[in-house]
Chains A and B, each alone.
Chain A
Amino acid sequence: MRIGVVTFPGSNSDVDSLNALTVAGVEAVTLWHESADLAGVSAIVLPGGFSYGDYLRAGVIARFSPVMRSIKEFAAGGGHVLGICNGFQILAESGLVPGALLRNRSIRFAGRLVNIKPERLDSPFTRAATGAPLRVPVAHGEGCYFADDATLDQLERDGQVLFRYVHDDGTPVLDPDDPANPNGSLRAIAGVCNAAGNVAGLMPHPERMSESVLGTDGGMQLIRSLVESAAEWEAAGRPSPKTRAEARA
């Protein structure tokens, strides 16, 4: 099975993502931003970095690249797409996941280790997680998750909040000025998914904590979740995503 990692001009976590997927035991291939050909991959990672120099707004210019048009179709067809850091910003700008990423509340670039905790373990992106807080790095200037209150309520109700920044004891960092919430995200949200559940984005970098030689391999739980979900989707003959209504019924 093959999983693709997109390289945009300015991507810098693409090689880390390819490595993490290789360690997880799948064939990891680079997808070039100017090509609409997804090379038959079973899942896609949009990696971190500063695509197109973060000009205008982080992620917005990448949204109009040929590869993103194909990825929109891939996602609409039920394929799994994981956006990490800049990849999350690209998904948000593309409307593939809800919300927006604002400049960090502190205005400082946040580059350090934080704790995040999966909100649920039955999603395609957390199924291999233990549920314990994960220590993972962040490296971003625009990661403050924002959506209006009605949207936030709806996301919580429908289980679309996948990760929150947490204290060492696992409780969410709800004070946006607490440094354990590295960017001031509303409701401590570190990652969300779309309504169908097959597209997710998060600001921290699980791929950079995916081997014990890197300090901890906790991030591998999320990489492995993606690999399992992609394999299951392939084995089932690439089914289209359930609509939210169908999923609830």
Chain B
Amino acid sequence: MSEFRYAVNVLPKPGILDPQGRAVEQSLPHLNVTAVSRVRVGRRVELTVTDDSEQGARAVVDGLAKELLSNPLIEVYAIELLQGTSSADSSSAVSSKVPAK
């Protein structure tokens, strides 16, 4: 058995009103930011699954994402396999690495 760490990223379906995204967008002029548009606010859930295989673990996450973590009527989700313990842990946070100046 191995442990697999995942993130499930949940977003409002395209076309569904996202008042939170709209509020964030409407705040941008106050920051003098004009180049940003189409802001959508979602939710990210991270979890660890113990299973024989990555395939089996992913099936568990997929079932959970459909049944509990998202509402298929209004939301879409994407599953991401994480390398480290958490994307909030800097050693594994690939996407948040700031390029050296």
Contacts and interface: CB of A to CB of B under 8 A. Distances in A.
Interface of A: 56-57, 60, 64, 93, 99-100, 102-107, 144, 146-147, 184
19 contacts: A56-B43, A56-B69, A60-B68, A60-B71, A93-B71, A99-B73, A100-B71, A100-B73, A102-B17, A102-B19, A102-B74, A104-B19, A105-B19, A106-B19, A107-B23, A144-B17, A146-B74, A147-B73, A184-B17
B20 A57 contact: no
Contacts of B74: 100, 102, 146
Interface of B: 16-17, 19-20, 23, 43, 68-69, 71, 73-74
B20 A103 contact: yes
Nearest to B69: A56
Nearest 7 CB-CB pairings of A with B: A107-B19, A100-B73, A100-B74, A103-B19, A107-B23, A105-B19, A100-B71
Contacts of B71: 57, 60, 93, 100
Nearest to B22: A107
A56 B44 CA distance: 10
Contacts of B20: 103, 107
Contacts of B16: 102, 146
Nearest to B72: A100
B19 A146 contact: no
Contacts of A99: 73
